[in-house]
Amino acid sequence: MQNKVEVHPASAQEGGGYWVIVCINVGSYYKHMPQSKVYCPDQQTMASVVSDALHHKICPECGHIFSKHGWEGIEAHWRSHHEDILNYADAWKLISTDKYIEVMLACAE
């Protein structure tokens, strides 16, 4: 899975800084994950969030950035946020083999 990140400047009302938005490659386009955009008050924070987003695992459903320990925490994350889409056992089979997006796209068509 290839991901991309977009960085947008935050407005003055938001206190300046940046928003980092994760985009997931879903085949023919990059799906934006605005619900998990991360606020960064300064450039240094922004750079580290961008680096995390590019090197860490990303939830294929919402763009949540996992910690540096691979998929650690996904079970709790999935069960509390996406269990209604697909049960965790089935989702994990797809996510762990990098097939989730492929299969979900095929189902949506």
Q: In b/e form, how buried is each residue of 83-98, taking b as 16+ CB within 10 angstroms? A: eeebebeebbebbeee
Which positions from 11 through 50 interact with Zn ion, judged by CB under 5 A? none
Stretch that binds Zn ion, among 7-15, 18-26, 54-62, 67-75 (CB under 5 A): 54-62
Stretch that binds Zn ion, among 1-9, 43-51, 57-65, 98-106 (CB under 5 A): 57-65
Say whether residue 52 binds Zn ion (CB under 5 A): no
* Choice between 10 and 103, CB closer to Zn ion: 103
> Closest separation between CB of residue 12 and Zn ion, Å?
31
Cβ(60)–Cβ(91) below 8 Å: no
Say whether residue 62 binds Zn ion (CB under 5 A): yes
Which positions from 71 through 90 interact with Zn ion, judged by CB under 5 A? 81
Among 70, 6, 54, residue whose Cα is nearest residue 95:
70
Q: Which residues pair with 35 in a beta bridge?
A: none
Q: How far apart are CA 23 and CA 58, in angstroms?
A: 10
Binding site for Zn ion (CB under 5 A): 59, 61-62, 64, 81
